[in-house]
A and B are shown apart, each in its own frame.
Chain A
Amino acid sequence: MNALLDSVGYTDWVLHALIWLPVLGIGLIFWAGEERAKKVAFWWSAAVFVLSLGLWWAFDPASGTMQMETTSPWIPQWGINYSLGIDGISLFMVMLTTFSTSIAILGSFNYIKAKERAFYALMLLLEAAVIGVFVTTDVFLFYVFFELTLVPMYFIVGIWGGERRIYAAIKFFLYTAFGSLLMLVGILFLFWKAKNFMGMPTFAYEDLLLVPLSGTEQLWLFSAFALAFSVKVPVFPLHTWLPDAHVEAPTPGSVILAAVLLKMGTYGFLRFLLPFFPLASQHPTVVTTMLVLAVIGILYTAWVAAVQPDAKKLVAYTSVAHMGFVVLGVFALNMNGLQGGLVVMISHGISTGALFLLLGMLYERRHTRQIADFGGIARVAPWFATAFMITALASIGLPGTSGFVGEFLALMGAFESHPMIAFFATLGVIFAAYYMLPMLQTVFFNKLETDENREVEDLNGREIAILSPLCALMIIIGCNPTPILERMEPSVRIVLERIEEAEASASVLNVIDIASPAQAEEVAQPEVRNQGSLSGLVDGEG
């Protein structure tokens, strides 16, 4: 496989291709016309997915740094480059994106009945933007892609959505844009800092990592970045845009939203928040706050999910709970936690994406999403019920499915660092059953009473083709996650090492503060900075 990939110079062009091929596909769709739009979109996205599969082999699992890096200047005056690269953290996000996009497109054949060309064009644009987010190593470019994802999603929700689509679309757009604007301020601050420090303008990820920051600066910048990403994740209590957006979005929109867009938030945590602001990230107050918010997110949204009458809203709330596990794992700040968080990201992408697809199929058949309208569906649609059951079990983290591996590691990591908080998070395991099983029962079990339910058709060939790879992945990742984990490990280790280094060099940082005249004013407020470094020292001793 590697020889084949080498012979075509795969690693040189694949990242460019992953961004630009979907864009090219947009032109192809408009050329193909309304009739053939969906077929073209599907095959095109499937081709992109197949292309991205090569990453699995081309990626060097032993190395944790950026691979397949390419850089070309974009706005050189400001040090902005079009530079791409991929590491163990982004590898799976990219593959998840290409996979979910083609699955979502295949799943929208029956759902999208109007303006098909525009819809599929937006889906491909979204794919390009999201891949851009995951593979770029230029912070400015990252911001551009990060914001660009809003545009297609805004239209997907706003045009093809349900009754309250306008409200949901605007809420989604404004809410997330508001968060990222604060991040923009943070990025610009970092940029000026870097310009002073390096003597040249640069937005390169590697360069910004070198910028020395005092504890206070880290805390402020951390807050700005964290807010942007927390809205995206979403972290309680910034989550209320999500249920609305999910309920109103068309099925493929929900799938992409859950499977990929939310991951941009937690990806941001891992890519930017922890490495850029290692001192702030391990500040005890910050860590406790994030962990407590994660636990509240896990428990609270599970409770809220359990009483939802609308199945799609229920699943939307469970998304918040799952992402809570990711945040929990990330702020455990250890190997198990971080890798667990990453696996939850993948697993949630697959299982929640599948749940939204299944609910979409149900909606196509019955034109309702109210749980109470269903009953006994398993008798007329047994294959459907089976697929739903497997997905639901993966979602609530039954061992042997992908959900378990992630949640288990995330909880274990959190338990290593903060046992009490992790204990409460573990209770989420109960409440997962508490929200999922009643829904499962009311929809699929119980008596088959109404005629509408009696006429529900079982899965057709296309739907089986959509669901079987998803279900297979859930079980494969659940039984053998090691190939994934071993590819993540080196990159995760680098993130952790950075945090540990910051801990160790907390005192060195003070020296830099005093030495650099640009930061002289920092000396005026030593208390807060000391707090940042103090915690590191205390932990180091313990």
Chain B
Amino acid sequence: MVQGSSGAATEAGHFEPFLPGLIVLMPLLGFIANGYLSLRHARVSADAVRRGSEFDLGDASSRPSTHTLPTWIGPGVMAGAFLITLVNFSRMLGVHLEEAVVVHYWTWIATGTFSVEAALQLDQLSIIMMMVITGVGTLIHVFSVGYMKDDPGYPRYFAYLNLFVFFMLVLVMGSSYALMFVGWEGVGLCSYLLIGYWFSDREKADAGKKAFIVNRIGDVGFLVAMFLLFKNFGSVDFISIFQGADALTYGGELVTAITLFFFIGAIGKSAQIPLYVWLPDAMAGPTPVSALIHAATMVTAGVYLVARSSVLFALAPFSSAIVAGLGVLTALFAATIALKQNDIKKVLAYSTVSQLGYMFLGVGVGAYAAGVFHLMTHAFFKALLFLGSGAVIHSMHEAYHATHSHEDAQDMRNMGGLHRPMRTTCITMWVATLAIAGIWPFAGFFSKDEIIWYAGAWAGAEGAPYPELYTVYWILALVAALLTAFYMTRMMVMTFHGKNRTGEKEQEHLHEAPPVMWVPLTVLALLSIFGGWINVPEALSAGWAGLGGLLPMSEWLHHWLEPITAQAHHVQEVNLGKYSYYAPFGGGEALWAAISTILAGSVVFLTLQVVSRQKISAVKDDVTELSGFTKVLFNKYYVDEFYDRVIVQPILRMSRFCWKVIDAGIIDGAVNAVGWGSKGAGWLVSMFQTGSINTYAFILTVGVLFVLGASLF
């Protein structure tokens, strides 16, 4: 069953995977169990609906088993999966694993010329992803228990969430691109199901549909890239492709095409320009879903894809430049939109898009470890931000529910001053805000700084193909970082500080989230503080940023991922030479780290001052007329409208044209014309049949004479 790698055993002990199949299987079993409960419950609630009422869940104490069991099954299987992952992780820590360990289960597809195994791959990259998915996933599952407890579809929710984790694990653990694609589309499906979780609401169902279709555009890129790989390597397995990658020409058309098509897939899944439009709409789903799928895990799959294919991307400098360029553009673009959003989840959504842009900048400039690093820290603090906003929304919602008000529970203009009732949430969210703003010593500082640093370092590399371009990237990345600090602080101030605008009566109902919700917040806050310390850059570890060498794990992640990225780095070194140790305008890493953290810190401070003084009125009193660029930003650059006008409507019109004119008109018209033609011809010939015997006799005679005459002459 286990095909160990050849090199691993000799050097430093043997890595024996511990039940890797069970990691994947547990969420699947959770899905089956919760799915069964959900179907059972759905019958009951359907009967209620048919009678014209809604299903009444009743008190928390007297709920049916369909609503008590998922509480244990959902987070339970996640915790189980996390524990097994942890065992594997600790085993892997002990050995120096040079090659991936692949565990085969069965042959999935085999046609004679093409074969792909159902096999799981365990290596340093996949184990990091598994840790993030199961770890953060478990916390979010726990949080969901509190957040969703009064939702009638509780078991269905957990069924979907478990299924999502299953597919996400397949995505990162699959040993081939084909298997990765299974997870890739599977998570898209779960995303679709969860965005449209409250499907009775047309807008939410629409958002789910949009996400699925936009993702499928990306999937086409993934498929084509896979076909190209198969055509040239005869396989889609990671190991054989990366081994064969040496034969590819550096910067060749083939590898450029492959990587660009893969990147199209990544653009779709990771919401980059121009396919980012689905992610903000995806906020229609329950907030923990946004935290898990649309912040921490699924949307980072594109980054994982690029990191996994690091060899290929390193061989394609043009594609890498595109990846980095689109990444940094997205980072800036989404950050500007986030400046003017009032919906708390929309701010976070655009912030996610922006941060994903950073990750692509990282993997685009060849700093694969830095990209993965930011992926990981982002998973911590963005999940925290979403869950925190979830706690806020939960509280706001209950407050409005108690007073039967129909105000918007997600609009920050209705919030303010929430730090008094929701102290823990406020503190933890501030931790995350400082982390995302890139303030030392929070996690985001190290990861974001490393990405920006590498963008600059790439610009100064000896053989850098586009040095000026990378200088621009570096500047844009710095600007976007400052914008991040601004909009996040604005969001925090509008939500937690100043006067409360929720309403007189509602105010009393605002309360802190229950422990089942704030405990995960606290854990994530701790991770957001300390999570960055696993990869303190060497240049900083001895200086102030590393507390003079007191922060222990200098460049740990970097070294950990070395076996994965070594091949790519080798390609880079051969073709590009060494990185520059100076930023484009001089100064070393430590200096720029100091500059960026001081700048970000001052932006946070200034914003705190400015926004706190601004007069913000609740939604129902808000009469602000937007104008100029502010309006453009508020309306998200009108991109959705543009797509609708230029793509969606024309396709619809073309579809109608194809149906009405081509299909029903021309093609079927031709078919019917043949039918009518035959009928007409028959009618014409029938004219000769007069019914008069004389005519027949006459024609007969003439005919006979004709035949006789013909035979005579």
Contact = CB atoms under 8 A, between A and B. Distances in A.
Interface of A: 171, 174-175, 237, 239-241, 300, 303-304, 306-308, 334-336, 339-340, 376, 378-383, 386, 393, 398-400, 404-405, 408-409, 411-412, 415-416, 419, 422-423, 426-427, 429-430, 432-434, 437-438, 441, 444-448, 454-455, 458, 479-482, 485-486, 489, 492-493
Given A400-B186, A415-B231, A448-B200, A383 B42 contact: yes
A446 B206 CA distance: 9
Contacts of B209: 437-438, 441
A362 B662 CA distance: 30
A423 B231 CA distance: 13
A150 B92 CA distance: 65
Contacts of B228: 415, 419
Q: Which of B52, B230, B655 has the most CB of A within 10 A?
A: B655
Contacts of A485: 109-111
Contacts of B702: none
Interface in B551-594: none
A433 B216 contact: yes
Interface stretch (B218-226, B432-440, B458-466, B476-484): B218-226
A308 B231 CA distance: 37
Contact of A445 (B39, B199, B223): B199
Contacts of A481: 108-109
B224 to A, nearest CB: 6
Interface stretch (B8-16, B43-51, B344-352, B362-370): B43-51
A187 B111 CA distance: 32
Contacts of B668: 240
Given A339-B111, A409-B111, A446-B205, 20 more contacts: A303-B658, A335-B113, A380-B46, A380-B50, A383-B39, A383-B42, A399-B182, A399-B185, A412-B114, A412-B230, A416-B227, A419-B228, A419-B231, A429-B220, A430-B213, A447-B200, A447-B202, A479-B108, A485-B110, A492-B112
Interface string B638-662: 0000000000000110111011001
9 contacts: A174-B675, A240-B671, A335-B112, A380-B50, A429-B220, A430-B216, A441-B196, A482-B109, A482-B110
A378 B206 CA distance: 15
Contacts, number: 168
Contacts of B629: none
B200 A382 contact: no
Nearest to B179: A399
A343 B28 CA distance: 26
A454 B186 contact: no
Contacts of A304: 655, 658-659, 663
B315 to A, nearest CB: 20
Contacts of B655: 303-304, 306-307
Contacts of B108: 479-482
Interface of B: 39, 42-43, 45-46, 49-50, 52, 106-114, 118, 178, 181-182, 184-186, 189, 192, 196, 199-202, 205-206, 208-209, 212-213, 216-217, 219-220, 223-224, 226-228, 230-231, 651-652, 654-656, 658-659, 662-663, 667-668, 671, 675
A301 B118 CA distance: 34
A454 B654 contact: no
Nearest to B663: A304
Contacts of A408: 109, 178, 223
Contact of A437 (B112, B213, B226): B213
Nearest to B193: A389
Contact of B182 (A308, A400, A427): A400
B202 A446 contact: yes
Contact of B205 (A308, A427, A445, A482): A445
A510 B392 CA distance: 83
B189 A398 contact: yes
A487 to B, nearest CB: 12
B256 to A, nearest CB: 15
B112 A399 contact: no
A80 B438 CA distance: 84
Contacts of A379: 45-46, 49, 200
A409 B109 contact: yes
Nearest to A303: B655
A419 B228 CA distance: 9
A486 B108 CA distance: 12
Contacts of A432: 216
B224 A423 contact: yes
A98 to B, nearest CB: 25
A213 B69 CA distance: 71
Contacts of B182: 399-400
A339 B181 CA distance: 20
Nearest to A337: B111
Contacts of A339: 111-112
Contact of B227 (A171, A376, A411): A411
A175 B192 CA distance: 41
B172 to A, nearest CB: 15
A60 B486 CA distance: 70
B113 A445 contact: no
Contact of B216 (A171, A383, A393, A429): A429
A300 B206 CA distance: 24
Nearest to A306: B655
A411 B223 contact: yes
Nearest to A338: B111
A6 to B, nearest CB: 28
B42 A382 contact: yes
Contact of B217 (A307, A422, A430): A430
Given A303-B651, A446-B199, A482-B108, A240 B663 contact: yes
A336 B234 CA distance: 12
Contacts of B201: 447
